[in-house]
Amino acid sequence: MITLALSKGRIFEDTLPLLKAAGIEVLDDPEKSRKLILATNLPDVRVLVVRATDVPTYVQYGGADMGITGKDTLLEHGSQGLYQPLDLQIAKCRISVAARADFDYANAVRQGARLKIATKYVAISREFFANKGVHVDLIKLYGSMEIAPLVGMADAIVDLVSTGNTLRANHLVEVEQIMEISSRLIVNQAALKLKREPIRKIIDAFACALAVPA
Ligand code: PRT
Ligand code: MG
């Protein structure tokens, strides 16, 4: 049995064509079904529907053999015990710093300055600002980060941006891009040794599908 951990929403949708290329069809729609373990057309392949942030955990502990997760999630979680064979080029976005338009970010990120950042991405933020020599007080949030600068709780946020509509709707400005984000295929290193052939087959099919221009 090969178990694949996926999250609902954008990653799931973008993954379906890749699965299809590997000859795998998921039999239930996770947006409609309440099932968390989904069967596929292949009797020895199943899909776990987990929270996006839990995908690396399932794969690391062997609850799933493989999974698909954003680079953002992977960097926050750490990649211990995980083999990362492919950048799937799906669910693309960027991770950026955003602040109120009236906030003087350029002045605030001088070497040795101090900045209050609200984010779900504390590890990524800590490293980014440490490399700049800027001291940061990090406030961990789990969502709706955009509110924090508006109510004076933080100077800026670090969050994912794709169209920029969410920032605009909340009167925030993207002041610096940290990195480009896309989703990665991750594989449990022990599973790769024990189930080498079927896992290799899936990795190769995904790689093949990626090589075909959309
Ligand atoms: O929703 P839940 O709390 O269960 O988990 P999650 O929010 O981590 O999952 P999900 O499915 O929303 O995101 C999964 C992955 O998709 C992320 O880890 C990213 O790798 C990737 N991804 C790509 C994005 C976006 N684009 C994105 N735009 N994830 C989130 N967003 C959000 C962003 O946080 C912000 O609130 O969309 C908003 C910004 O979008 P724009 O278009 O308004 O700029
Ligand atoms: Mg979400």
Query: Based on the domain organization, do 87 and 186 belong to the same domain?
Result: yes
Ligand located closest to 51 CA: 1
Q: Do 73 and 101 sit in the same domain of this protein?
A: no
Same structural domain, 124 and 173: yes
Mean pLDDT score of the chain: 96
At 91, give phi and psi (nearest 5°): 50, 50
Q: Are residues 78 and 137 in the same domain?
A: no
What pTM did the predictor assign?
A: 0.95
Regarding whether 53 and 28 lie in a shared domain, the answer is: yes
Predicted confidence (pLDDT) per residue in 118-176, tens digit:
999 999 999 999 999 999 999 999 999 999 999 999 999 999 999 999 999 999 999 99
CATH number at residue 162: 3.40.190.10
Of 162, 168, 173, 186, the one to substitute when testing ligand 1's pocket (max ligand atoms within 8 A of C-beta) is 162
Same domain, 32 and 111: no
Query: Could you tell me if 64 and 164 lie in one domain?
Result: no
Do residues 175 and 189 share a domain? Answer: no
Does 189 share its domain with 164? no
Considering its fold, how many domains does the chain have in total? 2
Instruction: Tell me what percent of the residues of the chain surpass a pLDDT of 90.
Output: 96
**Same structural domain for residues 140 and 197?**
no
- Model confidence over 26-72: pLDDT tens digits? 999 999 999 999 999 999 999 999 999 999 999 999 999 999 999 99
Question: Does ligand 1 come within 6 angstroms of the Cβ of 72?
Answer: yes
DSSP secondary structure, 124-171, as one string:
HHHHHHHHHT-EEEEEE-SS-TTHHHHTTS-SEEEEEESSSHHHHHTT
Host domain of residue 78? 2-91+182-211
- Asked if 52 contacts 167 with a C-beta cutoff of 8 angstroms, the reply is no
Ligand 1 atom nearest the C-alpha of 159 is 34
Residue 103 sits in the same domain as residue 176: yes
Residues 116 and 174 in one domain: yes
31 CB-near residues (< 8 Å, 6+ apart) = 8
Give the residue, by CA position, lying nearest to ligand 1 atom 28.
Answer: 162
